[in-house]
Amino acid sequence: MKQTRPPQPTRRQVLTAAGLSAAAVTGLQTAAPPARAATWRLHADTALSGQGKLYSGSTNRSQPRCDTAASSDCPGPGALSVYWGGLYVHSTASNMLRTGPFTSCAAPFPGQGTADRVRWASARAWRPEYRFAGRILVRGISPHRPDPWTGLVFHPVHITNCDNYWIRIWERDQPRLTFGREVDDRETAVLRTRFPWPALNTWHTYRIDVLPGSRVRFHWNGTRIFDTTDPAHAFSGGGPVGMRLDYFDTVLHETRVHRP
């Protein structure tokens, strides 16, 4: 009797069986091509719009629940976009950016940023191993943060606003760091550790290594803070990167993604 091979499952079927939502599966299918260059620099990207100009922004009034960079009202001309707020080019000469209030697609640089909610993500995706690194300075933090866990968030993987890995520091009520995953808009902490509140008006360096097998390493000011693996392997294929700067008045410098 002639034997026939059983049909092979599709990538969507495999991911769905692993527990990811349909939205996350779709995001992973559409947002994980390999990087086209060895190093991507956020500041070289924003220089496309020119000094003192709004690069990208969104009022979030017409967004879907699970926002992506591509759904911004004013998508950037390059490889990243901002949803929930605006990203303004402060100085292409010194490669610095400034978050600030979003008013329109033609808005000029606003000076002292006052936006409560500012988030950005790349439209480009990376596969492990890759490194997300840069410098960050916080000029001020809103005194009106609504929730005790509200903090500054790095996204080493950002498929959508509902499906991502996140590293949160500068929480409102306690000095700690939390690394977690968000799947279908549900957050789960993978690791928590004490982390003193960083100094304001001071440059800090960060480095996030995204390794095969859902392993993530985080360095702050040259010191390794954690090296752990997500037991659920939710986003082992990597993806876009981003930040959530809600309630933080920040300046970014040398923001980049590359393969070590």
What does each of the 260 residues of the chain score in pLDDT, given as a tens digit?
444 444 444 444 434 444 445 444 444 444 444 445 589 988 888 888 888 788 888 775 555 678 777 778 888 888 888 877 788 787 766 556 766 666 777 766 654 445 567 788 988 899 999 999 999 998 888 888 888 888 999 999 999 889 999 999 999 999 999 999 999 999 999 999 999 999 999 999 999 999 999 999 999 999 999 999 999 999 999 999 999 988 888 888 899 999 98
Q: What is the pLDDT of residue 146?
A: 85
Distance CA 241, CA 253 (A): 16
Q: What is the pLDDT of residue 116?
A: 67
Residue 35 maps to a domain:
yes
What pTM did the predictor assign? Answer: 0.80
Q: What is the pLDDT of residue 140?
A: 85
Distances in Å between the Cα of 221 and the Cα atoms of 16, 65, 138, 194, 205 are: 38, 35, 14, 16, 5
- Asked if residue 98 lies in contact with residue 86, where contact means CB atoms within 8 angstroms, the answer is no
Q: Which single residue is written with the structure tokens 């707020």?
A: 85
Q: What is the pLDDT of residue 193?
A: 97
Largest CA distance in the chain: 77
Residue 230 maps to a domain:
yes
Element (H, E) at 25: helix 22-30
Residue 111 gets the label, from left (phi > 0), alpha (psi -120 to 50) or beta, of left
- Which residue range is the domain that position 147 belongs to? 11-258
Distance CA 120, CA 58 (A): 10
Distance CA 60, CA 207 (A): 29
Three-class DSSP category at 143 = coil
Token representation of residue 246 = 């809600």
Residue 5 maps to a domain:
no
Q: Phi first, then psi: what are they for 211, rounded to 5°?
A: -110, 160
Task: Provide the sign of the torsion angle of the four alpha carbons 64, 80, 253, 189, taken in this order.
Answer: positive
Distances in Å between the Cα of 89 and the Cα atoms of 34, 102, 179, 212 are: 27, 13, 29, 34
55: CATH: 2.60.120.560
Distance CA 228, CA 230 (A): 7
Which stretches does DSSP call E strand in the chain? 39-41, 54-58, 80-83, 85-91, 96-100, 119-122, 130-141, 152-160, 163-169, 176-183, 186-194, 204-211, 215-220, 223-229, 242-244, 248-258
Q: What is the pLDDT of residue 112?
A: 46
What DSSP designation does 58 have?
E
Residue 17 maps to a domain:
yes
Q: Phi first, then psi: what are they for 94, rounded to 5°?
A: -100, 5
Q: Which of 21, 24, 69, 56 is nearest to 163 (CA)?
A: 24
What DSSP designation does 22 have?
H
- Asked if residue 234 lies in contact with residue 215, where contact means CB atoms within 8 angstroms, the answer is no
Q: What is the pLDDT of residue 25?
A: 44
Number of structural domains in the chain: 1
Q: What is the pLDDT of residue 63?
A: 55
